[in-house]
Amino acid sequence: MGEKTRCEWAGELPIYIDYHDTEWGRPVREDAKLFEFLILETMQAGLSWITVLKKREAYREAFDGFNPHKMAAYDGAKVEELMANAGIIRNRLKIESVIHNAKVYLEILEKHGSFSKLLWAYVDDTPIVGHPETLADIPATTPLSDRISKDLKKMGFKFVGSTTIYAFMQAVGLVNDHMRHCFVYEELL
């Protein structure tokens, strides 16, 4: 059996190949996992995804396993502790937004019962299938990512611009943007 054909962006780094093969674009419906991806995508804003992916375990440790109840209770001392943590990206605005977003996330759970149902309703519970032949065929934003971004901002989320939200949509499988020649593309149909 030959080598699997992947999206070109997966490159040759084992951590990236594993992420591509086992996570990216696969539908995520668990609230906690969606929250983790949203936090990681907001931390990635303006940086490369590989930077965040390599620090993912450090983020899990620093943010108490992405427990929103614990994160929402972080105080100034915890912010300073996080700012001193060399394992994560030490951007005060992003760290403070994560704490704020944890509070908003908990409000959404209380109000809507499920973050997953809220998000998946945007795509009628069925992933949008892109048909990219090349990386140039994949947009940075779409009218839907614009809409979700706007709605999340109205709910109170920060660092959720349309580009960040489109990357989030791709990561959690709201959109299947695997290349048509990629083995995962067919698996997700």
Q: Which residues are catalytic?
A: 19, 41, 49
AA letter at 31 = D
3-state DSSP assignment of residue 128? strand
Q: From CA 135, how far away is CA 114, in angstroms rounded?
A: 33
Residue holding tokens 């959690």?
172
Residue 128 phi, psi dihedral angles, 5° rounding: -75, 130
Contact 89, 51 (CB under 8 A): yes
Residue with tokens 């915890």: 78
The identity of residue 146, as a single letter, is: D
Yes or no: say if 170 and 27 are a contact pair by the CB < 8 Å rule: no
Nearest 5°: the CA angle 95, 172, 120 is: 105
Torsions phi, psi of 165, nearest 5?
-70, -35
Distance CA 22, CA 16 (A): 10
